[in-house]
Every structure is written in C-alpha cells, then in structure tokens.
Amino acid sequence: MIIIGAGIAGLSLGWQLARRGLAPTVIDAGTIGQGASHAAAGYLQPGLDPSPLTDLEWDSLRATPAFLADLEAETGLSVDFRTDGQLRIGFAGDEAEIRADHDIRRAASWDVTLMDGAGARALEPALSPEVTIACLLNDVSWVDGRRLCTALARAITARGGQIIEHCPALALTHERGRVTGVKTPKGHMPSDRVAIAAGHRFDRIKGLPADLPASIPVRGVILALACPTPLFTRLVKRPDGILCPRSDGRLILGVTKNPGDMRDFPDAGAVQALLAGAIRAAPALADLPFLEATHAFRPFMPDDALLFGAHEGLGGLYLSLGHASDGYLRATAVSERLATEILG
Ligand SMILES: Cc1cc2nc3c(=O)[nH]c(=O)nc-3n(C[C@H](O)[C@H](O)[C@H](O)COP(=O)(O)OP(=O)(O)OC[C@H]3O[C@@H](n4cnc5c(N)ncnc54)[C@H](O)[C@@H]3O)c2cc1C
C-alpha cells in the first residue's frame, strides 16, 4: 500500500493501517508534516450546521482522546493534547454576537457558559480590561500538530512501514481500471493500492481520474511568540483570531484566511493585523519575544467537500482530500473509516 502525502491525513491513515497489520509506504514530495499540517493551530471544534460532516466531526472529536493516548503510549512521545476548552471573548459591541452564538450552541447541546468581562479575567487574568463578555466552550480541545505528525511517523516506521521523503508522486499508473503504482523520480513504485492524501497540491499528479475536481488552496498566516511562563490555560478566541497556548512555552497567534491569495510567504500586513488583535486582547503579549511567522494553504475542494474513501471508477485508488480548515479535527474518524474500508 502506498500513501501519497505525509501530512496529518496521510500519516493518520498510515498508522491506522500499520496498527492493523498493513504497514504502508508513505511518500512525500518534501518532508514529514511540512504542508498545511505544519501551520495548523490544531484546535478541534466541530461545525455548527446539522449535517453528516458535522456528525463525523463530533465522532472524530470523541474518538480523538483514545487515538492520541494510544499513539503516545506506543511512541513515548507527547502530542500536547489539551482539553481546557475555548474562551470566546468580545469587546464593546460584540456582546449580541457572543450571546447569540452561546444560545445557538446551548440549543445544540454544547457545554457552554456565558460570563461578563470580570468572569473572563477571573479565568484568564492576562485578558485586557477591554474584554466585556466571554463564552467558555468546554468541548473544544487542541493538539500540537507538529508533534502529532512526528509521533505518527515514528509509530508507522516502528510497525514496519516506510516513510520516503523528497519523493514526489509524478503520476498514478493504472491498467484496465486498476491501480498499478506510482511513478516517482526514484522510479516506478508498484502497488495495487494507493491512497492520495496530498493536500492542496494533489491535482498536480498525472494520471488521476478525470472526475476528480481541482483543489482550492486557501492561504493562512499564523504566528508564534515565546511565552515560557504560561499566560493562558484555555484557547482564547478573539473576534479576529485565536491565542493558542502550547506546553512547550510557545503561544500561537492565528490565523488569517485568504482565499485566492497564492503569495508564498507570510506577509507583513497579516503579521501586523494578527499581532495588533492579540495585543489588544492581552496587552502583556507586547513584551514577549517574536518567534515565527508561517503560512500554508488549506486544502479545500469545491463546495467544501471532504472526499474520502475508495474511488468508484478506479480500483485500488483511495482518497483523503478536502480536509480544509479541519484536518486535525477530522483525522481520527476519517483515517479509522478509511483504514476499515481499505482492509475490507
Ligand atoms: C494557518 C492554518 C491554521 C489551521 N488551523 C487548524 C486547526 O486549528 N485545526 C484543524 O483541524 N485544522 C487546521 N488547519 C487545517 C489543517 O492544517 C489541514 O486541514 C490539514 O493539515 C490538511 O492535512 P493534509 O494532510 O490533507 O495536507 P498537508 O498537511 O498539506 O499534507 C499534504 C502533504 O502531501 C505532500 N504532497 C503534495 N503533493 C505531493 C506529491 N505529488 N507527491 C508526494 N507528496 C506530495 C506535501 O508535501 C504535504 O506534506 C489549519 C490550516 C492552516 C493553513
């Protein structure tokens, strides 16, 4: 079995297969987890619209703690999974929106608590006196995606799988309606089962079925500050972004969402806007060391479709595409269901 793409989609599938006895070969054009998976804040928050996709996201959220605990036990690596919830904060003028969001979530059985600015500061003392309202969403958790990809890669190889970096899939090969392998610069790699989990660049691979739509990359910029003495326990959601604490002393400030913007660098305007929003929410952030600005492209598909499962027209081809803004949220359920389908 070959998996194209060593991001969260390909690696989570790879481990699900490996732990069931089918050790795959995962190939990546670059290095492990350096696509969109490298940039993600990693928070796990299902959608609000009642839909099969939202149901899948809830299933995934519920299954994630056990999935990650198994992975940590197997590898001895921490993935910094945090379950302290999300505090949505607002300033003067945001009250009606936060109340309405609270009411909708409560009606949908979310575990939510509304509070005023003083209540928010009692939970998170670093918040600005400007914060007038907040809502605690206890269901939201988050994970360090970089650690998670590293741990998955280690677990795959420990179970006999292979990960080959700097090995782009140039073309999918097939004969008489069945997959026969993958053409790479290192030669043809034969296999009767291939999964494509190549994020926003999957459509550059030649030989794909004609019915696969092109990917829609949606750029995002995200920052990190060094925050060795933790300032926040919860993930804070501002009207214009997030503050996401990591146990290793980083504080992640995100994120922009720029459809149609293919600039291949983190632009100064985005950095300025993210810093300004974060410092308004918590003025003490202005004194912290700036560590990193990163950008990446979320892999959207037309109509925000999530494509996973066997391709109907080409035997032996499996897809894990369209993870959009929620690849970490969906990874547990998607990889589990896809592995079950592949193994029959
Ligand atoms: C700024 C930002 C913040 C985000 N925050 C969150 C969040 O908080 N929570 C959440 O759940 N999601 C979040 N996301 C979305 C999440 O990052 C993506 O949904 C997820 O990473 C997609 O994973 P993937 O494996 O499909 O793609 P990728 O991580 O992009 O991996 C695809 C891999 O395929 C490789 N590849 C491409 N073409 C080829 C080829 N021809 N041959 C071999 N390899 C190839 C690439 O090198 C890459 O390593 C965020 C995204 C961004 C950009």
In DSSP notation, 93-137 reads: T-HHHHHHHHHHHHHTT--EEEEEHHHHHHH-TTS-TT--EEEEE
Kindly give the interhelix angle for 327-343 and 52-75, rounded to the nearest 10 degrees: 80
The predicted structure's pLDDT at residue 228: 93
The domain spans of the chain are: 2-80+144-215+302-343, 86-139, 216-300
Residue 161 backbone zone (phi > 0: left; psi -120 to 50: alpha; other: beta): beta
CA within 13 Å, CB half, 92: 2
Q: What pLDDT does residue 92 have?
A: 97
Ligand 1 centre from 199 Cα, in Å? Answer: 5
pLDDT at res. 246: 98
Q: Is the CB of 11 under 6 A from ligand 1?
A: no
For residues 325 and 306, give the distance between their C-alpha atoms in angstroms, rounded to a whole number.
Answer: 11
**What is the model's pLDDT at position 225?**
98
The pLDDT assigned to 166 comes to: 98
pLDDT of res. 143: 98
242 Cβ inside 6 Å of ligand 1: no
Which of 114, 109, 40 is closest to 80 using CA atoms?
40
Architecture of domain 2-80+144-215+302-343: 3-Layer(bba) Sandwich (3.50)
Q: Could you tell me if the CB of 255 is within 6 A of ligand 1?
A: yes
Ligand 1 centre to CA of 156 (Å) is: 18
Q: Do 44 and 84 contact (CB within 8 A), yes or no?
A: no
Q: Give pLDDT, residue 82.
A: 98
Give the burial string for 206-227 (b: 16+ CB within 10 Å, else e): eebeeebeebbbbbbbbbbbeb
Provide CATH code, domain 216-300. 3.30.9.10
Between the CA of 325 and the centroid of ligand 1 the distance, in Å, is: 9
Determine contact, residues 319/309, Cβ cutoff 8 Å: yes
266 lines ligand 1 (CB under 6 A): no
Q: Which residues of the chain have pLDDT under 50?
A: none
Q: How far is the CA of 263 from the centre of ligand 1 (A)?
A: 17
Taking the CA of residue 242 as reference, the ligand 1 atom at the shortest distance is: 8
d(CA 224, CA 12): 25
The pair phi, psi for residue 331, each rounded to 5°, is -55, -40
Q: Whose CA is nearest to atom 21 of ligand 1?
A: 37
CA of 6 to the centre of ligand 1 (A): 9
Measured on CA atoms in the order 64, 86, 295, 228, is the torsion positive or negative?
A: negative
- Six-digit token pair at 320? 């894990």
Q: Quickly count: other Cβ atoms within 10 Å of residue 201's Cβ.
A: 15
Q: Which residue's CA is the nearest one to ligand 1's atom 12?
A: 326
